Amino acid sequence: MSVAVVKYSGENTGREISLGSEVFGIEPNDHAIWLDVKSYLANQRQGTHKSKQRAEISGSSKKLKKQKGTGGARAGNIKNPQFKGGGRVFGPTPRDYSFKLNKKVKDLARKSALTYKAKDNMIVLVEDFNFEAPKTKHFQDLLKSLSLQDKKTLMVLPDANKNIVLSGRNLQNSKIITADQINTYDVMNAEQLILVESSLTKIDNILNKQ
């Protein structure tokens, strides 16, 4: 599959680049995508939720009233979960939500996600560029020239570029990552994928590395 290369100003360069079939043309595996997205979202969870059980509540351990003869239900101490301010039964405790996913499954998921974007013509290939200074207006002009100002975009750079990252980080529907940060969730979450030309080689090397 060939994609036309455009300048960041939106002008066509007259060149086309063929996307590697090993990354952008495989048979997509939906289950691998689901597993990788689930793993990514699980890893984002802090897992610091915590509620106090009755052993952790500050209060007297004295029995409130005698066991029998009051006409009411029997009661222990003030830290009983049935009383206001008492401990919570089976409340949340800190835990780690992350789980291991094999590298081959992750690679398959990323290749599947990129294949879907290629099949749906949701990839824009931009010639290598740089901004002289970090300005949000520069990045907005870039999106406007590519007619992507109203879409959720993911830009993949070959390497970290401070001026480009600072120019686009304040835009709600735009995310900028480097080729070694590419992941299934971000690719599937974006409506349009903007690949800087030099990032293609790095993506191929990363996902086809044995």
Residue 111, burial from CB neighbour count under 10 angstroms (0-12, 13-18, 19+): buried
Spatial contact of 112 and 188, defined as CB atoms under 8 Å apart: no
195 phi and psi, to 5 degrees?
-105, 125
Predicted local confidence at residue 92, as pLDDT:
93
Res 48: pLDDT = 94
CA distance 116 to 188: 9
Q: How far is CA 145 from CA 8, 161, 195, in A?
A: 7, 20, 15
Query: SS3 letters for the chain?
Result: CEEEEECCCCCEEEEEEECCHHHHCCCCCHHHHHHHHHHHHHHHCCCCCCCCCHHHCCCCCCCCCCCCCCCCCCCCCCCCCCCCCCCCCCCCCCCCCCCCCCHHHHHHHHHHHHHHHHHCCCEEEECCCCCCCCCHHHHHHHHHHCCCCCCCEEEEECCCCHHHHHHHCCCCCEEEEEHHHCCHHHHHHCCEEEEECCHHHHHHHHHCCC
Closest CA to 24 of 103, 104, 114, 95: 114
pLDDT score of 102? 94
At 197, list the tokens.
Answer: 């030309």
State the pairing for strand pair 12-18/2-6: antiparallel
Say what the pTM is.
0.82
Q: What is the pLDDT along the chain (210 residues), one digit of tens a residue?
A: 788 888 888 888 888 888 888 999 999 999 999 999 999 999 999 999 999 999 999 988 899 889 999 999 988 899 999 898 899 999 999 999 999 999 999 999 999 999 999 999 999 999 999 999 999 999 999 999 999 989 999 999 999 899 999 999 999 999 999 999 999 999 999 999 999 999 999 999 999 875
User: What pLDDT score was predicted for residue 88?
Assistant: 92
Q: What is the pLDDT of residue 44?
A: 93
Report CA-CA distances (Å) from 41 to 37, 107, 139, 196.
6, 17, 28, 26
Asked whether the beta carbons of 126 and 196 are under 8 A apart, the reply is: yes
**Radius of gyration of the chain measured on its C-alpha atoms:** 27
What integer pLDDT is reported at residue 15 of this predicted model?
Answer: 87
Which residues lie across from 97 on neighbouring strands?
Answer: none
